[in-house]
């Protein structure tokens, strides 16, 4: 597998969970847990990208590499692109976007996501799991994707897709959908093309920036994770659940 770098975009502001990266889980900040997952992968480098001095200071306490970025970015993808530019990474460098609120992301899935770009046809790689629960299928906060026979994304949506006209229970529709996980791998050249492109109407409508890539004709390879990742952290309840799951996995 080609060498890859992990970048963790991290911002202090969060509507539902203020100061989210620095909230404690099992005695460590969430930021440190996520950084440790990155370091446990086969990445050659792990960089925290932030615009906040509080996050940079916290990162320095556990000797993490940190890159300060603009406060004007609208997304983590924009922040990644600035880091890649500042670091002078090559066009073919593979960069994994590991979300800063994913302390339960198994490191082997970081490796798996990066390895999907061994397929030269793929522009971007991501992961999505089958076996959606009914409540998740209907939940607009859970992003769904459907893929073609070659494992490339046809569409991503917050809606319950696909819609079944013949199956009243929706069971077969739910079984056709995949639960998308917010981890991506890009070649740097692809990343730079995405951030300079205009937002597509579909992206604006769904508030899903991966739809910009699809609108540009890019191919997104979707892998089924070898293990199901734990949930991300967005609320106080998620913090409690993350601490419980970390304790179960003996991660402290």
Distance from C-alpha of 148 to C-alpha of 176, rounded to nearest angstrom: 11
Burial of 31-59, coded b for 16+ CB within 10 Å and e otherwise, reads bbbbbbbbebbebebbbbbbbbeebbebb
**How many distinct structural domains can be found in the chain?**
1
In a domain, 252, yes or no: no
In a domain, 202, yes or no: yes
In a domain, 245, yes or no: no
Q: Whole-model pTM?
A: 0.93
Backbone angles phi, psi at 249, to 5 degrees: -85, 0
Bridge partners, residue 7, by sequence? 47, 97
Which residues, 6+ apart, have CB-to-CB distance to 15 below 8 Å?
none
Q: What is the pLDDT of residue 68?
A: 95
Question: Would you give the end-to-end CA distance of the chain in angstroms?
Answer: 30
Q: What is the pLDDT of residue 252?
A: 45
Split the chain (252 residues) into runs of 10 and give each run's mean pLDDT. 91 79 90 96 97 94 95 87 96 96 94 97 97 88 94 96 76 88 96 95 94 97 93 83 82 47
In a domain, 251, yes or no: no
Q: What is the pLDDT of residue 9?
A: 94
Q: Which domain holds residue 122?
A: 4-227
In a domain, 9, yes or no: yes
In a domain, 45, yes or no: yes
Which residues, 6+ apart, have CB-to-CB distance to 85 below 8 Å?
192
**Of the candidates 32, 57, 35, the residue with the CA atom closest to the CA atom of residue 46:** 35
CATH of the domain at 196: 3.90.550.10
Q: What is the pLDDT of residue 87?
A: 96
In a domain, 80, yes or no: yes
**Of the candidates 94, 98, 95, 120, the residue with the CA atom closest to the CA atom of residue 109:** 98
Q: What is the pLDDT of residue 234?
A: 80
């Amino acid at each position: 597998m080609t060498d890859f770098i992990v970048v963790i975009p991290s911002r202090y502001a969060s509507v539902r969970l203020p100061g989210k990266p620095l909230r404690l889980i099992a005695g460590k900040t969430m930021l440190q847990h996520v950084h440790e997952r990155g370091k446990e992968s086969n990445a050659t480098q792990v960089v925290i990208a932030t615009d906040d001095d509080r996050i940079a200071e916290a990162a320095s306490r556990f000797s993490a590499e940190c890159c300060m970025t603009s406060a004007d970015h609208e997304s983590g993808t924009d922040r990644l692109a600035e880091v890649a530019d500042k670091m002078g990474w090559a066009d073919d460098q593979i960069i994994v976007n590991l979300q800063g609120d994913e302390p339960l992301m198994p490191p082997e899935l970081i490796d798996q996501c990066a390895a999907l770009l061994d397929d030269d046809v793929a522009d971007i790689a991501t992961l999505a799991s089958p076996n959606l629960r009914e409540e998740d299928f209907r939940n607009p906060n859970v992003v769904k994707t459907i893929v073609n026979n070659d494992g490339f994304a046809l569409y991503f949506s917050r809606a319950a897709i696909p819609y079944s006209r013949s199956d009243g229970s929706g069971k077969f529709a739910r079984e056709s959908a995949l639960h998308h996980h917010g981890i991506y791998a890009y070649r740097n050249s692809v990343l730079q093309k995405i951030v300079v492109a205009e937002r597509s109407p579909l992206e604006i409508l769904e508030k899903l920036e991966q739809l910009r890539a699809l609108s540009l004709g890019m191919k997104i390879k979707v892998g089924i994770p070898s293990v199901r990742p734990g949930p991300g952290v967005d609320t106080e309840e998620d913090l409690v659940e993350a601490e419980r799951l970390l304790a179960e996995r003996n991660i402290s």
